[in-house]
Amino acid sequence: MGYFLGLIVVLGALWLGLSGMFKPLLLTLSVISILISILLAARLNTVDREGVPYARTPNLFLYWGWLVIEIFKANWPVIRACVSADLDINPALVKVKTRCESDLAKTIFANSITLTPGTVTVEVEGDKLLVHALFEESATPDAFTEMDERSWRAADGRQAGKTTQVKA
């Protein structure tokens, strides 16, 4: 039930933010549209811990802040490679092992790797990720351990032992 409440709050905030109107007629229409969205989400069975991860919002935001800084740091070498006179790149395929267990944590980790310029997750199989990197020297397995650790803490963290994972 809490998940539904979280979804309603977020959808309502989204509606208000996009429209900025407070007339009674429009508010009624917004309530109807939110209810329809909730019904559809319930029918799709997406309202669960991983579909609505609001309980760990602070963790995720902390992780996100760290990730944005990391992305900006990783932008430099790619930009330099784009504009340098001779094409100085060294692409490689590497395998990365992750400690993330739940689908949410794995998704966050793989998406973080993809978001960081210079590395793209090509395939996810179990706890191994196939990563294509623009520079082989920057894609050693140690380079991903901090990101792995942080995404695990953001998504799984302390609750990993308590809740049983439902693999979709």
* Residues at the interface with other proteins (CB under 8 A): 14, 17-18, 20-21, 23, 25-26, 68, 71-72, 75, 78-79, 81-83, 86-93, 110-112, 114-123, 130, 132, 134
- Helices 57-83, 103-115: axis angle to 10 degrees equals 30
CB of 85 to other proteins, least distance (A): 10
Nearer to other proteins, 66 or 160 (CB): 66
CB of 88 to other proteins, least distance (A): 7
CB of 17 to other proteins, least distance (A): 4
CB 110 within 8 A of CB 129: yes
CB 135 within 8 A of CB 77: yes
Nearer to other proteins, 1 or 18 (CB): 18
CB of 106 to other proteins, least distance (A): 12
Burial of 2 (0-12, 13-18, 19+ CB in 10 A): exposed
CA distance 130 to 105: 16
Nearer to other proteins, 107 or 145 (CB): 107
CB of 58 to other proteins, least distance (A): 17
Nearer to other proteins, 46 or 114 (CB): 114
Nearer to other proteins, 102 or 121 (CB): 121
In one-letter notation, the amino acid at residue 83 is V
Residue 131 Cα to chain centre, angstroms: 17
CA distance 58 to 50: 15
